[in-house]
């Protein structure tokens, strides 16, 4: 699965006050705004966070927590440790604007423009506005947490400790708050390794480079991607841009719903990973390909060498046809929406359409059609190059469904 978007706000230029001598991690801006947000002091603190992340210094990061706030100390220390394990580079943090009033305890939230990349995997940095909770601590401003305000993405590496596994081709990060997180991280790394082999059987010129993020739960996945509660409750994984943008330069990662994948058997979990890696390999997250072709092709690649009968791989689609009759058209956005009632059947219908195209014209033709449509050519024009039309494809697909459901 692929998609998602996030709007960016106007950046505010804020002057940092430079200290002279002594501990540069203690910076007090001029003329603090008594009783209200202090953007200058917050900006100075963010500058210190940049230094702590760049130097992988958990002690310096913990010093940016409010006095006596052990939870914030642990979080900020984990952020610096994560930055080292993930080889975070190009990190910057700029104060944008407040998002609400000051709380009774003197804390407030603000949008902060963050930029970061994982060295060796992200060709360009992610750029997103993330809500940060600040707290006044004497004459200083400290950081309490990232996200949690239901407005904007919550990057996983800023949520807490991670289990990280790295190979030449894959980077896996799993929330350490999950039971057996280390074992899970190793398991996901193996699935990615097998999945890249599966994908290269079809996409032979692809150079593997995959990042997989596994939040603590389905709810945490929604928060990570700034999605409404329950959006991904029934989805095993989604491939999308890290910052929620539609930019072709934005890093694209696979985000896993552990609540769903935990219940999958080995073969099913591997198909899910191979499907998502196909999305990575084809730049599906920022592609304009019709959803049925985008999702159907990913399933075609993932299931291509899986020795399962059609009654298994297309069982829900067959049941749907028996219940509602033959569909008149290929599944569209409504049928492939994450909350659609018959979503699994819709995915199988999309896969059968791609499998039918490969049966009729050959796998090279399916691959050529996908690449041309991904490049902006209409489906009809891409099919005509192989002597057929979308109407012919739909009819062959419906005939096959009728035979399977009889």
Q: What are the structural domain ranges in the chain?
A: 39-154, 161-286, 289-406
pTM for the structure as a whole: 0.89
pLDDT of residue 251: 97
Q: Is pLDDT above 90 for 26?
A: no
Q: Mean pLDDT over residues 24-47, rounded?
A: 68
Beta strands in 290-333 (DSSP E): none
Q: Which residue has the higher pLDDT, 51 or 310?
A: 51
CATH topology of domain 39-154: Nuclear Transport Factor 2; Chain: A, (3.10.450)
Residue 72 makes CB contacts below 8 A (sequence gap 6+) with 65, 66, 135, 142, 143, 144, 145
| Residue 11 pLDDT exceeds 70 | no
Residue bearing the bigger pLDDT, 45 or 307: 45
Token pair for 249: 């330069």
CA atoms of 127 and 120, how far apart (whole Å): 17
Please tell me the distance from the alpha carbon of residue 154 to that of residue 161, in angstroms, as a whole number: 14
Q: Would you state the pLDDT for residue 2?
A: 52
Element of type H or E holding 61: helix 58-62
Q: Do domains 39-154 and 161-286 have the same CATH topology?
A: no
CATH architecture label of 161-286: 2-Layer Sandwich (3.30)
Residue 138 has pLDDT above 60, yes or no: yes
Q: What is the mean pLDDT of residues 4-14?
A: 28
What sign does the dihedral 221-188-370-205 (CA atoms) show? positive
Distance CA 154, CA 220 (A): 9
Percent above pLDDT 90 for the chain: 83
pLDDT at residue 17 greater than cutoff 50: no
CB 132 within 8 A of CB 94: no
Tens of pLDDT, residue by residue over 153-203, are 999 999 999 999 999 999 999 999 888 999 999 999 999 999 999 999 999
Residues 253 and 122: their CA atoms lie apart, in Å, by 9
**pLDDT at 400 exceeding the cut of 90:** yes
Quote the CA–CA distance of 357 and 335 in Å, as a whole number.
Answer: 20
Mean pLDDT of 131-135: 97
pLDDT surpassing 70 at residue 15: no
Evaluate if residue 80 carries a pLDDT over 90. Answer: yes
Place of tokens 């202090």: 38
10 pLDDT higher than 50: no
Does residue 221 contact residue 231 with C-beta atoms inside 8 Å? no
């Amino acid at each position: 699965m692929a998609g998602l978007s996030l709007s960016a706000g106007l950046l505010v230029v804020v002057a940092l006050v430079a200290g002279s001598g002594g501990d540069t991690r203690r910076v007090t801006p001029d003329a603090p705004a008594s009783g209200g947000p202090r953007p200058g002091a917050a900006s100075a603190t963010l500058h210190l966070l940049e230094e702590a992340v760049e130097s992988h210094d958990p002690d310096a990061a913990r010093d940016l927590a409010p006095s006596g706030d052990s939870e914030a100390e642990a979080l900020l220390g984990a952020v610096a440790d994560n930055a080292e394990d993930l080889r975070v580079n190009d990190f910057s943090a700029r104060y944008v604007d407040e998002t609400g009033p000051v709380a009774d305890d003197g804390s407030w939230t603000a949008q902060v423009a963050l930029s970061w990349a994982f060295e060796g995997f992200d060709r360009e940095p992610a750029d997103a506005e993330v809500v940060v909770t600040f707290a006044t601590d004497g004459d200083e401003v400290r950081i309490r947490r990232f996200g949690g305000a239901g407005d904007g993405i919550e990057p996983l590496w800023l949520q807490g400790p991670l289990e990280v596994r790295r190979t030449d081709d894959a980077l896996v990060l799993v929330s350490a708050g999950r039971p057996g997180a280390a074992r899970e991280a190793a398991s996901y790394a193996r699935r990615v390794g097998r999945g890249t082999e599966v994908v290269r059987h079809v996409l032979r010129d692809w150079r593997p480079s995959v990042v997989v993020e596994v939040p603590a739960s389905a709810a945490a996945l929604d928060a990570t991607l700034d999605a409404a509660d329950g959006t991904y409750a029934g989805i095993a994984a989604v491939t999308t841009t890290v910052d929620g943008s539609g930019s072709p330069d934005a890093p694209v990662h696979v985000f896993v719903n552990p609540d769903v994948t935990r219940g999958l058997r080995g073969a099913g979990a591997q198909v899910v990973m191979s499907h998502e890696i196909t999305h990575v390999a084809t730049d599906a997250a920022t592609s304009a390909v019709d959803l049925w072709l985008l999702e159907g092709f990913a399933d075609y690649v993932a299931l291509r060498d899986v020795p399962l009968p059609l009654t298994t791989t297309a069982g829900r689609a067959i049941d749907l046809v028996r219940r509602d009759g033959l569909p008149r058209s290929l599944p569209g956005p409504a049928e492939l929406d994450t909350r659609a009632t018959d979503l699994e059947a819709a995915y199988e219908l999309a896969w059968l359409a791609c499998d039918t195209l490969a049966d009729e014209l050959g796998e090279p033709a399916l691959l050529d059609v996908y690449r041309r449509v991904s490049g902006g050519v209409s489906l009809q024009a891409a099919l005509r190059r192989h002597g057929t039309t979308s109407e012919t494809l739909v009819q062959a697909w419906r005939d096959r469904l009728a035979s399977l459901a009889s």
